[in-house]
Structure 1
Amino acid sequence: MTMGSSSLRIQSLQTALDCIKIDKVQGRYATTITCGLRKPMRTRRPSDGVLSTEAIQAVQSLKLAARNPSKLHQVFDSKLSRLLKDDLLDAFAELQRQQHLELALKVFEFIRKEAWYEPDQSLYGDLMLMFGKKKLIIEVENLLCELIKEGLKPDTRIYTELIGAYLKVDMIEKAMKTYDMMKASGCVPDELTLTIMIRNFESAGHEKLVAIIKNDCVEYLDSPKKFLKEVARKYPRRLRLNLV
């Protein structure tokens, strides 16, 4: 499946959740969320943060040719095809850093066709985070479906990116449904997942949902009181430490 702009249109927001084939979670949630998403979490190979000359030239050429399909095709043939694996991955990351998401997605399509490519959760997670920050939910869900089609099982980070994207656009029911799906799949919510949800729900004054998440802190964390104190210290607005 080509992941160009035309393929990012799906019938409804339910499609990606259906890919995981988890039963619908009962109940509805409605509120307004104000907190944003976190910064990217790099889980791929270590990097010194310095791009090679070849990677820099490839990024610059892609940006210059972005609005001309024929020139863009030439850049892929003349520049991208000659990059080593690490340089290609660096170019992909740099386009995301500069918020050129359409180009990053095209480079990701190119990467997936390389002989050395193996499905990688972290590459999908990076893109889901970037599209989520731009509130492009259909694109986030489409990436989830592609991840599953490649034989990957969503891990805690992937679920967290999806939850964060839903919270970014006030889709509370979707966020809670995804959270329940995460737990049902056997993935354990980590401190980042719980922090994002507590921050957003407290900011919106949705105390019942805060109570649910705090209750889960007791189940999933070794030191829930310490964790909640730290969250309250960093994000003091209306945060309370009651373990329900």
Structure 2
Amino acid sequence: MPSIVSSSPSSLQLYSSSTLSPTFTLPSSRFYKPTRLHLPPRPSTTVVSCVSTRPRRKPGPKPDKSEVEELVRVLMKNFGGERPLISTLNKYVKVIRTEHCFRLFEELGKTDKWLQCLEVFRWMQKQRWYIADNGVYSKLISVMGKKGQTRMAMWLFSEMRNSGCRPDTSVYNALITAHLHSRDKSKALIKALGYFDKMKGMERCKPNIVTYNILLRAFAQAQNVNQANALFKELNESIVSPDIFTFNGVMDAYGKNGMIKEMESVLSRMKSNQCKPDIITFNVLIDSYGRRQEFDKMEQVFKSLLRSKEKPTLPTFNSMITNYGKARLKEKAENVFKKMTDMGYAPNFITYESLIMMYGFCDCISRAREIFDEMMASKKEMKVSTLNAMLEVYCMNGLPMEADLLLERARKNRPFPGSSTYKLLYKAYTKADQKELLEKLLKLMDSDGILPNKRFFLEALGAFGSSPASQESAGSTTGLTRPRNSAKT
């Protein structure tokens, strides 16, 4: 690595890769060595035991990844039709195993069908091959947590213990993460610390690096610098060593909160731990400096990236285009896009959304619409967030009637608007005092089956932060998270 940005807030210096360790030593080979126990011979006694008369099934070969994905794809397609979920599972009962159910949990969780996850789980429990396993409960607790179903996650934890499974570190990590997804963040952090302290007293549940990474990122997101530093200190004094995910997660959390000095302090800590930066590190720094419009530092980090062994990714360029656009630096944003294509990178839908928003900020509405129409005509991948980006361009430039016409067109074609689309327009029409458009919007929502509740109106009016289009791209610029298609009502 030729260089990396310094943590000094007053100046930006380059560091040689000679300060970084070129190799890593795996903790497993360093700290843990298998030992063989020599037990004394047992006394000769008569032992009465119960033996099952059912012939034991020989475990067959585990299905490969492609086979699992193909079957899950077929199952998900059937779930969407008229056939009930359970009858679909029964149809494929001879081939479905734990691996398929794990993947089903993930896919159902992505589409907000967490109740169907529980149906699959209940179906699993009735199969002859099912054995109560921590991994199954850990996966389900994780899915429930991501969907904000903290009570369901707690119920699964209780169910796991009742089934005879003893919790381990992975289960507690999933439980902590589930609590951190709840709305009351201060209460969630207290709960998380409570589980963390409890884990320290249980041999099977000692905190590992994943535990520390979860908590460090959470406290950095909450801007609790003292608690984050205390966890870092505790981590340094333990046998667990921080890894690249530790530093990237904390730097990203600080960066998104605009806490540049704290982010640079973690970068300095990272270098002192002989941890080599990767592309995520560079993307975090580029995005964080760009958000604060510290473009000199952002550009210097980008140059350092180009001289390193790492290669830029699409999130690298998408972030720079977005942040230049917000600063109305159209030429610089266009130069980044040109450099990206010259280097052989093919833009994705987030790149096009970044360009649409950039031209919107720079009052080039016609150019933004050209890009949107080109995407429609070329059948490129489009998400609800792409539609939202174009609608927000119209709204931010005082063109609510054009936004209304585009909404009508989208309802007849693709991409079909989601609840995030209606939140965006409700907020914009309210701000512009467009009562007729508001009434029309509510009627369209009713016909599309989107029922607004109290949370919808609070989010639409900005009580929970930024607009839906900006929320879509908030986590996609660094590559740490996956963009969502639409927000829940």
TM bucket (normalised to shorter chain) is 0.5 to 0.7
Return the offset for 1:85.
Answer: 2.2
2:239 pairs with 198, 211, 221, which one? 221
Q: Which residue of 2 is the match for residue 193 of structure 1?
A: 211
Equivalent-residue separation in structure 2 for 1:85 and 1:226 (angstroms): 34
The alignment-based identity, stated in percent, is 23
For 1:182 and 1:46, how far apart are their aligned partners in 2? 35
Task: Indicate the larger mover: 161-170 or 80-89.
Answer: 80-89
Q: Which residue is equivalent to 1:183?
A: 200
Cα 1:198–1:141 shift into 2, 3 Å: same
Q: State the Cα RMSD in Å.
A: 3.2
Q: CA deviation at 1:236?
A: 5.7
Q: Equivalent of 1:116, from 106, 114, 129?
A: 129
In the other structure, the counterpart of 2:93 is: 81
| Residue of 161, 167, 170 corresponding to 1:148 | 161
Matches of 1:58 and 1:150, distance apart in 2: 28
Which of 1 and 2 has higher RCO (CA within 8 Å, sep 6+)? 1
2:85, 2:251 → 1: CA distance? 49
Asked if the contact 1:189–1:220 (Cα under 8 Å) also holds between the matched residues in 2, the reply is no
Structure number, greater radius of gyration? 2
Q: For residue 33 of structure 1, what is the aligned residue in structure 2?
A: none
The verdict on how the C-alpha distance between 1:52 and 1:129 changes in structure 2, with shifts beyond 3 A counting, is closer
Gaps of 5+ in 1: 1-44
Superposition deviation, residue 228 in structure 1:
6.2
* Number of matched pairs: 194
* 1:206 to 2:219 alignment: no
* 2-structure distance, mates of 1:113, 1:206: 46
Distance 2:216 2:196 in 1: 13
Give the 5 Å matches for 1:49-68.
49-51=66-68, 55-65=72-82
Distance 1:231 1:74 in 2: 42
Q: State the distance in 1 between where 2:226 and 2:129 align.
A: 48
Match of 1:174 in 2: 191
Aligned partner of 2:142 in structure 1 is 129
CA distance in 1, matches of 2:74, 2:244: 48
Q: Deviations over 1:40-65 (max 9, x none)?
A: xxxxx774144476554433223324
**Structure 1 residue 117 displacement after superposition:** 0.8
Please report the TM-score for the alignment, with normalisation by the length of structure 1.
0.65
Cα distance in 2 between the residues matched to 1:204 and 1:176: 14
In the TM superposition, what are the counterparts of 1:24-39 in structure 2 within 5 Å?
none
Instruction: Provide the residue aligned with 2:115 in structure 1.
Output: 102
- The whole-number CA distance in structure 2 between the counterparts of 1:128 and 1:206 is 26
Q: Unpaired runs of 5+ in structure 2?
A: 1-61, 256-261, 270-489
TM-score by length of 2: 0.35
Q: Which amino acid aligns with 2:211?
A: T
In the alignment, the residues of structure 1 paired with residue 245 and residue 70 of structure 2 have an alpha-carbon distance, to the nearest angstrom, of 44
